Structure 1
Amino acid sequence: MLVCIGDLVEDVVVWADGAPRAGTDNPARIHRARGGAASNVAAFASSLGTRTRFIGRVGDDAVGEALVRELAMAGVDTRVQRRGRTGTIVLIVDAAGERTMYPDRGAAAELADVPDSWISGAAAVHLSAYSLDGPSRPVLRQASDIARAEGAILTIDASSVALIDSLGPATFRDLIRALQPTYVFANGTEADLGSLRELATAGTTVVVKNGMEPTEVHFAANRSATVHVPPVDDVRDTTGAGDAFAAGFLSAVLDNAEVIEAVEAGHNLARRVLTEPGATLTMTADD
């Protein structure tokens, strides 16, 4: 089983029609969807047939109830706390598919006091680094301790350049190192800012995604490899691509794939979200 710990929020995805003009109307297509990095990973992995569980907090409101119901309908075992106000992220997506995010994490940022039984029994535990900032940090330490004691794989996604800036690159790197993850996922900017490639040790492999450029895999003893990224004809929205990569990677690892094979599986799933608004999978003839 894959256990994902982090955010479940509502995404409001804005596909802008042209360059923004201040002080007046800007035509756009607006799409609402379930979001939150950890819940995205859980849903994507479930779509591949991986048994998944999500742990997080939503508000005691209609939006939170709808999000939990949708995640459960995606085949995810949902273990959520209900208190406060459900979080929302507004994403402005430009014509090239790049997004600018305005997060209000709400209740998701307040996850705390998680029962050990929610985490125990996992073959892999996936964490979002967003939870390093605030009351949820002890939950990540708890998850790390349980994963190590039970011999589970532990992964963490660096999540955000703004988060690294807020905590400070050295502090951020030390917090991740203290969790002793099996794998760290980061994009190139996050890896550079936080010097995250330095985390590659005998127990940790660092996977650095570079958009359509080759993905880097950094092992211990200064060993590294690069993995080609298959071309995508029309990138419209990169939202959720990193979460799909993590889901594809982890599902493959849990199916006993080697690291390079798992990266390729991550690429294959990630490319399917790039033409849809938000963290949505494109259905293909093979699905």
Structure 2
Amino acid sequence: MTARDLAAERAAGSDRRVLAVAGDLVEDIVVWASEPVHHATDTAARVHRARGGSAANVAALAAALVPTRFVGRVGADAAGDALEAALVASGVDVRVQRAGRTGTVVLLVDVDGERTMYPDRGASAELADVDPAWLDGVAWLHLPAYGFEREPMRGELARLAALAHAGGGAVSVDASSTGLLEGLGVGFALELIGGIRPDVLFANEGEAELLGLTGGGPAAASVAPTVVVKHGALPTDVIVGGRLAARIDVEPVTGIRDLTGAGDAFAAGFLAAMLRGADAAAAALAGHRAAASVLRNPGAHATGDLRVNES
């Protein structure tokens, strides 16, 4: 059964179309360099503060398209209050634990739009003992691999995936970061992902190469029934059962300033389309449109209404 069949089967005859995303909700401090970086001295820049976290980004962007729930943890502090309120204002059903200190990620974005990230995940990484009722009505659970960095969150996300599967829901994983995968160890990362049994795995070309998934084959088939490999401005590969099923062109985007959140936006558009009955190729097109919407803004914040472009 393909991921499309799975999503359609679970949506048919039911009011359940809720997408749940579990992971980080943090404050992003986005530094846009106004000139080439001068190491060990001053560089002119603009500084933006924004609601961030890969999981929260996906939830906020998907909420305009399908009912969306966020599951995570923030600090019992003013920053946590503000982040929770911002996510609620995006239309997300927010379920968060409150304890400890809210996390922060500093993102340095060079003049070409490429970014270097300094994450301090704070309370987000302490997610544990989630109430199973927080997954009630969920048709699809999405997990960015940032949550696999360390315990207790690593084990908790695996438990939530098992609960989602047991309840008849689909699960997806985003490989998230080559630095994260290298820190975990490629073998261990593959073991973690395999244990979660995702229906869809998202990876960019660097992550796919590191995990041995480029071009498909038995390795890709063993990790997930559907593997989606993004190549930036080049076509996206949709690999089903270890074989290349589609290669989807990316429409050119002008005025790119910040790549932050493009992968999260792609996942939001893709998963929303799947839950609305699209096949993986059409879902990839929806993912491209969603990704394009964030490329001119600081952090993962869309320009315009994503509902205008959905189809």
Task: Give the TM-score normalised by structure 2.
Answer: 0.89
Alignment of 1:21 with 2:42, yes or no, is no
Structure 1 residues 189-229: Cα deviation after superposition (integer angstroms, max 9, x where no partner): 01111224523259621001110010011111534321100
1:111 aligns with 2:127: yes
Structure 2 partner of 1:168 = 185
Q: Does 1:85 align with 2:106?
A: no
In structure 2, runs of 5+ residues without a counterpart are 1-17
Report whether the alignment pairs 1:258 with 2:276: no
Give the stretch that moved more between structures: 24-33 or 277-286. 277-286
Match of 1:76 in 2: 92
The residue number in structure 2 matching 1:131 is: 147
| 8 Å Cα contact 1:124-1:154 kept in structure 2 | yes
Calculate the TM-score normalised by the size of structure 1.
0.96
Partner of 2:14: none
What residue is the counterpart of 2:83 in the other structure?
67
Root mean square deviation, CA, Å: 1.6
Residue of structure 1 equivalent to 2:10:
none
Describe the shift of the 1:221–1:187 C-alpha distance in structure 2 as closer, same or farther (beyond 3 A).
closer
Residue 234 of structure 1, CA deviation: 1.6
Tell me which residue corresponds to 1:193. 210
Question: 1:97 aligns to what?
Answer: 113
> Residues 187 and 203 of structure 1: is their aligned pair in 2 closer, same or farther, counting only changes over 3 Å?
closer
Aligned-residue offset at 1:144? 1.6
- Equivalent residues in 2 for 1:243-254, closer than 5 Å: 243-254=264-275
Other structure's SS at 1:229 match? coil
Question: Structure 1: which 5+ residue stretches go unaligned?
Answer: none
Aligned-residue identity in percent: 51
Relative CO higher for 1 or 2, CA cutoff 8 Å, sep ≥ 6?
2
**Whole-angstrom distance in 2 between the partners of 1:23 and 1:260:** 46
Q: Give the letter for the 2:84 counterpart.
A: V
Verify the 8 A CA contact 2:60 2:90 in the aligned structure 1.
Answer: yes
Which residue number in structure 2 is paired with residue 267 of structure 1?
A: 288
Instruction: Tell me, in whole angstroms, the C-alpha distance in 1 between the residues paired with 2:178 and 2:237.
Output: 18
Contact 1:12/1:89 (<8 A) preserved? yes
The answer as to 2:251 corresponding to 1:230 is: yes
Question: What is the 5 A alignment of 1:141-152?
Answer: 141-152=158-169
For residues 63 and 69 of structure 1, the distance between their equivalents in structure 2, rounded to whole angstroms, comes to 10
Deviations 1:224-271 (A, max 9, x none): 321100100121101011111000001100000011000000001110
Give 2:225's match in structure 1, choosing from 184, 192, 204. Answer: 204
* CA deviation after TM superposition for structure 1 residue 141, in Å: 1.6
Distance 1:137 1:240 in 2: 22
Q: Could you tell me how far apart the structure 2 residues matched to 1:254 and 1:67 are?
A: 27
Cα distance between partner residues in 1 of 2:79 and 2:224: 40
Task: Check whether the contact 1:177–1:199 (CA below 8 A) recurs between aligned residues.
Answer: no
The answer to whether the Cα contact below 8 Å between 2:201 and 2:224 also exists between their aligned partners in 1 is no
CA offset digits 1:45-102 (Å, max 9, x no partner): 0122x10110111111100110001101111111111111100001011111111101
| Cα distance in 1, alignment partners of residues 278 and 222 from structure 2 | 20
Distance 1:169 1:202 in 2: 13
SS at structure 1 position matched to 2:251:
coil
2:31 is aligned with 1:10: no
Distance 2:80 2:244 in 1: 44
Please give the alpha-carbon distance, in whole angstroms, between the structure 1 residues aligned to 2:40 and 2:205: 34
CA distance in structure 2 between the aligned counterparts of 1:207 and 1:250, rounded to whole angstroms: 12
Query: Using a 3 Å threshold, how does the CA distance of structure 1 residues 202 and 185 change in structure 2: closer, same or farther?
Result: closer
Q: Does the residue aligned with 1:125 lie in a helix, a strand or coil? A: strand
Question: Which is further off, 200-209 or 13-22?
Answer: 200-209
- Correspondence for 2:57: 40
Tell me how far apart the structure 2 counterparts of residues 221 and 189 of structure 1 sit (CA, whole Å): 18
